[in-house]
Amino acid sequence: MGRGAGSTALGLFQILPVFLCIFPSVTSPCKILKCNSEFWAATSGSHHLGTEEAPEFYDLMVQHNCSKDGPTSQPRLRTLPPGDSQERSDSPEICHYEKSFHKHSAAPNYTHCGLFGDPHLRTFTDTFQTCKVQGAWPLIDNNYLNVQVTNTPVLPGSTATATSKLTIIFKSFQECVDQKVYQAEMDELPAAFADGSKNGGDKHGANSLKITEKVSGQHIEIQAKYIGTTIVVRQVGRYLTFAVRMPEEVVNAVEDRDSQGLYLCLRGCPLNQQIDFQTIRSAQATEGRARRKGPSLPAPPEAFTYETATAKCREKLPVEDLYFQSCVFDLLTTGDVNFMLAAYYAFEDVKMLHSNKDKLHLYERTRDLAPGNMAPSETTPALWVALLCLSQFWLCLL
């Protein structure tokens, strides 16, 4: 970042607290965005931290008062002994979600959320949306963890975006886990937390949180047994995909219910951030048929027509559901065949993580917010203005 850009960013950081004071009604929902923006600015030059630098990393979280994300005490770094990745047989019962919370009741109801491609969002309520959401946006925020993604343009000047950065904060929980931060970026999918560890720290039930590398640099899985949660992060081509399986009880464990409307996995994208890709797809199909009747124009080698995109997506996605349609849309807007693989792997993650096998395929995209969600008219204008401003503010820092 040049001197001029640095001065601009500094000025924006000085203005942001004033902005939040001017709009007090949005202060509570924007806490995590404000905290994360300050924190990322302070760590923007330290994304490749070694083990010896991790204490400074956590000191910065303390300095920027990220208290909403849980205790920020500095973890003690240690070398994991052989076999430490295995769950200890004497781990406290409270560190196993199904054993502790549902010992005498029915099994919990698990939900799924996924984000992939240009980007396409499947919420915890099986609402499917295609969104713009350029910049930094929160996917999940509850009493146990926060997830935030940053989406950047696929090509300069393009409206197509994809996920280039992912941050997951697991909050300290009783005698199970210390606070842990996981960060992934383009071309960097680590198989460890930011402090170099692969489990939940030094507490007795630390192995109820652990990272497993499935494919080096391409696929990791995080098991958080103490909250019954499984997270899958992939790098497909240059960009990231995210999928999670989480009990409804954990999804709804929030301190401030009024701010839930801001979190994409629960409420979906704001209406003004949604893209009706099915209408665009129909127009592209019509345009393709019209082009065949007239003189053909040479296309760049990486470009797809509607017909070639459809044929390519059918290689991996034989059922013409919304994952198939997303694949076609992404090939037409980006020309990057890796987006076909992103749709394919997103559906593979659904098959693994979704609890209802009858709802794996979705055929009708939902433009409006899901039933029971906050309607756009019920959302205060200042709230959306603040969120969009903060989103653009993040983009300026990238």
pLDDT digits (tens, 9 = 90+) for 222-232: 999 999 999 99
Q: How would residue 206 be classed by pLDDT, with cut points 50, 70 and 90?
A: very high
| Order of strands, sheet of 135-141, starting from the edge strand that comes earlier in the sequence | 135-141, 145-153, 161-170, 180-185
Q: Whole-angstrom Cα distance, residue 280 to residue 283? A: 5
Percentage of residues of the chain with pLDDT beyond 90: 47
With a cut of 80, say whether residue 358 has pLDDT above it: yes
pLDDT at 120: 96
The band of 50, judged by pLDDT with boundaries at 50, 70 and 90, is very low
Nearest to 245 by CA among 109, 154, 75, 50: 109
Of the candidates 183, 345, 358, 373, the residue with the CA atom closest to the CA atom of residue 265: 373
- pLDDT (tens digit, 9 = 90+) per residue, 150-161? 999 998 877 789
Give the model's confidence band at 46: pLDDT under 50 very low, under 70 low, under 90 confident, else very high. Answer: very low
- The pLDDT tens digits for 12-44 are 444 444 344 434 444 433 444 455 554 445 444
Counting other chains too, the contacts that 380-383 makes at CB distance below 8 Å and 24 or more residues apart are 380/25, 380/26, 382/23, 382/25, 382/26, 383/25, 383/26, 383/29, 383/261, 383/262
Q: What angle do CA 181, 186, 192 make, to 5 degrees?
A: 35
| pLDDT, tens digit, 9 for 90 and up, residues 297-348 | 334 346 899 999 999 999 999 999 999 999 999 999 999 999 999 999 999 9
- pTM (whole model) above 0.85: no
Dihedrals φ, ψ of 200, to 5°? -85, 10
Range scoring the smallest mean pLDDT among 173-182, 183-192, 270-279, 366-375 = 366-375
Q: Is 70 exceeded by the pLDDT of residue 393?
A: no
**Contact (Cβ atoms closer than 8 angstroms) between residue 127 and residue 369:** yes
Structure confidence at residue 220 as a pLDDT band (50, 70, 90): very high
